[in-house]
Amino acid sequence: MQKLIKELEEANIGTTLIDEPLANHTTWKIGGPADILIEPTDKNALARSMKLIYKHKVPWTVLGRGSNMLVRDGGIRGVVFKLADGFNHLNFNGEEIEVGAGYSFIRLAVMAGKEGLTGLEFAGGIPGTVGGAVYMNAGAHGSDVSRILKHAEVLLENGELVTFTPDDLAFRYRHSILQEIKGIVTGAVFQLSYGDRKEIARHMAEYKDRRRHTQPLSMPCAGSVFRNPPGDHAGRLIESAGLKGFRVGGAQISERHANFIVNCGNATAQDVLDLMEQAMEIVEQRFQVKLVPEVLVVGEG
């Protein structure tokens, strides 16, 4: 590992942090240390570092803004990539938007609306980055990434940059092929269309207002914890089971939205996992429905 660290530093790839607590980089404010955390300056630096990691056969994980992710208390072995400022560009070309993987998905929706472009309104309440949204086929309000993505640029673990179409990504509900193969989204192009600015603004305002009144935005959380089962909502099932406010250690099922788990100030990853497990068991007992986690659980216990 020390040889890899030295080679990474010599390659001038950006910021390299050793034994960095990932609680500092996740929206849940939870997570043990990464052996190495890299914030590459751009996609070329990312490719150089990936080639070194591939050569040394060191495992790696990618982190955007740390939403929709639970890092276990033992942290993550190997390298964690955090795509930050070097992946934060945005360009408009008529009805197409070319955007970096580190760009905020919510801000992208806002900027598209200001340009009079419709199709991204659903993203106005989805935390995280463009890269994470593509990876998860993020969606809300009856739409998702698969409906507007033209193509995405992906860095494979051998250091090769390739372009993936929606067909290549094999999208389905909260899923893409990137959950099965090793690759990092570096950027995406979305195909939108011109619409009525007032209508776009009205929809955005409605979604923002709904989010403000129904989600626990003032507390550390990671977005929706469970996927919605077919024809139902995970939050409704958890609430109907009487679990709103239920707590394990420092982790609590939100009083505001039952499909959110909040960190009350000192939660561990194990607290969250235990709470998730209990919610899954009780919902299955009461309603014969198996809840499937939407958050990604990574790292060691």
pLDDT digits (tens, 9 = 90+) for 94-127: 999 999 999 999 999 999 999 999 999 999 888 8
Q: Do domains 88-202+205-212 and 216-298 have the same CATH topology?
A: no
Distance CA(250)–CA(297), nearest Å, equals 18
pLDDT digits (tens, 9 = 90+) for 67-87: 889 999 999 999 999 998 899
Distance CA(65)–CA(225), nearest Å, equals 16
CATH architecture of 2-85: 2-Layer Sandwich (3.30)
What stretches of the chain show up as alpha helix (H) in DSSP?
Answer: 2-10, 43-56, 105-114, 130-136, 166-169, 197-214, 234-240, 269-287
Reply yes or no on whether 284 is catalytic: no
Q: Where are the domains of the chain?
A: 2-85, 88-202+205-212, 216-298
Q: What is the DSSP letter of 219?
A: S
Reply yes or no on whether 294 is catalytic: yes
Reply yes or no on whether 174 is catalytic: yes
Domain 216-298 sits in CATH at 3.90.78.10
pLDDT of res. 125: 81
Predicted structure pTM score = 0.90
Fold of 88-202+205-212: 3.30.465
Q: Is 293 exposed, middle or buried (0-12, 13-18, 19+ CB in 10 A)?
A: middle
Give Cβ neighbours of residue 58 (< 8 Å, ≥ 6 apart).
Answer: 1, 4, 78, 79
End-to-end CA distance of the chain: 21
Given 67, 72, 174, 254, the catalytic residue: 174
Given 20, 121, 153, 294, the catalytic residue: 294
Q: Which residues pair with 61 in a beta bridge?
A: 80
